A and B are shown apart, each in its own frame.
Chain A
Amino acid sequence: MELTINGVQHHIDVEPDTPLLWVLRDDLKMTGTKYGCGLAQCGACTVLINGNAARSCVTPVGELGSAAITTIEAIEQDEIGQRVVAAWIRHQVPQCGYCQSGQVMAATSLLKQTPHPTDDDIRAVMVNLCRCGTYNAISAAIHDLAGDVGQEGAKK
């Protein structure tokens, strides 16, 4: 079957119920997306499918068709994604870093849909787990971005 990942078409030969995460990591060797729990509970495997955050460990590839899949490897090719990564560096968000590719994807998805998220919005959407407890830094980085992205949006 064909999958469009980061704008590139890949031909893969797997069973239709194979989780997207296995295809990314095992078949395509794109190991930036992490395996955490395998049960959609932690969010380490978050990718974007047509701009929406999805947990690749519970996404069967069989029915994805021509959906646009974006992973952490290409997130800086996205305007908002690039800003998110910059803010993550600015705020020194990661500690061990294992969950952070998923956090960045979730934050990008949030800002695409809600350019000026409130505290409540951030709490509602940023539900990925972080065992280092970087939640405050994540929240601060997103607040920073909310202003940033908002201003960019106003200029256009």
Chain B
Amino acid sequence: MTNRLKKIFAVVIPASTVLAGGTAWFVTRLPASSFENTGSQGEPSAQLMARGEYVSRLTDCVACHSVPGGAAYTGGLKMVTPMGAIFATNITPDRETGIGAYTLADFDRALRSGVAKDGHRLYPAMPYPSYAKLSDDDVKALYAYFMKGVPAVHLENRKSTIPWPLNMRWPLAFWNVVFAPSDVYRPDTSKDAQWNRGAYLVEGAGHCGACHTPRGLAFNEKGTDRHSAAFVSGALIDGWFAPSLRNDANTGLGRWSEDDVFRFLKTGRNDHAVVFGSMTEAFNNSTQFFSDDDLRAVAHYLKSLPGNAQRDGTPWQYEPTQAKALQPAGRQGIPGAQTYMAKCSFCHGADGRGQWEWVPPLAGAASSLVPDSSSSINVTLNGSGRVVAAGVPDSYRMPSYREQLSDRDIADVLTFVRSSWGNRGASVTAAEVKTLRKKTRPADSGVVVLKIN
């Protein structure tokens, strides 16, 4: 070996070793927790438990960590990724299969940093990039509730179907550096307390962005807070288009007042819309349990997020253009018009305006105006899930048309809806309906509403 080569090796080998060692240390290290040396928490006070229970409603853990028919928080929900399926885990305080052996610091690291007790990195299907913003007090309360308020259930977690090497978790440490915020919510001192509470709830605990923020190539949310115009600007997830929560006149909350937002999250409905798709679950188990003050804060904050006027164009205005076309003689020449009158108009109205807060309008609805037609198709194929407000099931529900209408029928009626009454969403093709028909299942009327106490 020449001297020159020896010299190169003398530099490269130690450098590589240091680099590999550093990488290994970095990807396996336990992130810091505010609760490192706090030791046993003892018996939590009733007040702390009550707060923890409330925080669990804000964070809606039950949404993913339960399945219909299963015990609460025992996990099992299947989430499909392009690489394979992953399953939510048992987070009851069972020592072997749940989180019973977790200390407060372990719990904190899983919740806010996405690192389990044994050091493996969680997939960001767990919204720890949002939960990172939770306050120490809320984390402590949530821990008390999960350890003492939730019954322990022994149930093994299901293994993910993602194959090696894609199932290696350590690269997520680098993902976290780039995409996951790691700091608790810092109040914006230029805003009032209500606004800051709203920001904490939307960006943090409520993790609204998990569905409503578009994701990048690495499945990262393209924005995690108010500083990004992509934050809660609308996104396609699991066959539903979660609309913008910003002040977009057509595809967002631009035409909603703060009170409209409040009523929607409190009762599941208002004159603009009724919860459907994945939002039904978020309403049934989470938002309706927010305190009125917290919901007002959410509404106040959301209404402060600017829309994208360039994207949305002219704000929607009602146009009575279809009234004549829908007369018996007129509707026969328009594809979809007859189906609309026979199947849709008795609830949504021949004028497309729905029936007050009980049946949502299709005229001016975000789902009728947004270019992506997934939600229109999905709700027509599969109907809507049951909305249970304050323990009372809804009187009116969208039925499933999967068995009654063909792909062509659905494409025609939705194209009609999306181009009537001033709506200008893109037309729908039979191929799009066919694709979603295969990928989706009818909505279940037996929804799970978690009863706490």
Would B356 and A63 count as touching, CB distance under 8 A?
A: yes
Would B341 and A58 count as touching, CB distance under 8 A?
A: no
- Residue A19 at the chain B interface, CB threshold 8 Å: yes
Shortest beta-carbon distance from A142 to chain B in Å:
12
Interface size on B, residues (CB 8 A): 18
B396 touches which of A58, A117, A124, A127 (Cβ 8 Å): A58
Which A residues are CB-close (under 8 A) to B396? 17, 19, 58, 60
Which B residues are CB-close (under 8 A) to A18? 395
Which B residues are CB-close (under 8 A) to A39? 397, 399
Shortest beta-carbon distance from A122 to chain B in Å:
8
- Residue B338 at the chain A interface, CB threshold 8 Å: yes
Q: How far is the CA of A58 from the CA of B359 in the complex (A)?
A: 9
* Also in contact, A59 and B395, with CB within 8 A (given A54-B346, A110-B328, A124-B332): no
Q: How far is the CA of A59 from the CA of B328 in the complex (A)?
A: 22
Which B residues are CB-close (under 8 A) to A40? 346-347
Which A residues are CB-close (under 8 A) to B8? none
Shortest beta-carbon distance from B147 to chain A in Å:
41
Would A19 and B332 count as touching, CB distance under 8 A?
A: no
- Residue B434 at the chain A interface, CB threshold 8 Å: no
Which B residues are CB-close (under 8 A) to A55? 346-347
A43 and chain B: residue at smallest CB distance: B346
Would A60 and B328 count as touching, CB distance under 8 A?
A: no
Q: How far is the CA of A117 from the CA of B399 in the complex (A)?
A: 31
Residue picked from B329, B355, B395, B399, most chain A C-beta under 10 Å: B395
B356 touches which of A41, A60, A120 (Cβ 8 Å): A60
Which A residues are CB-close (under 8 A) to B51? none
List 10 A-B residue pairs with CB atoms under 8 Å apart, sorted by A's residue number: A17-B358, A40-B346, A41-B399, A54-B346, A55-B346, A55-B347, A60-B395, A63-B355, A124-B341, A127-B342
Q: Known pairs A120-B332, A124-B332. 17 more at Cβ < 8 A?
A: A17-B395, A19-B396, A54-B346, A55-B346, A58-B355, A59-B355, A60-B355, A60-B359, A60-B396, A62-B356, A63-B356, A118-B329, A120-B328, A120-B329, A124-B338, A124-B341, A127-B341
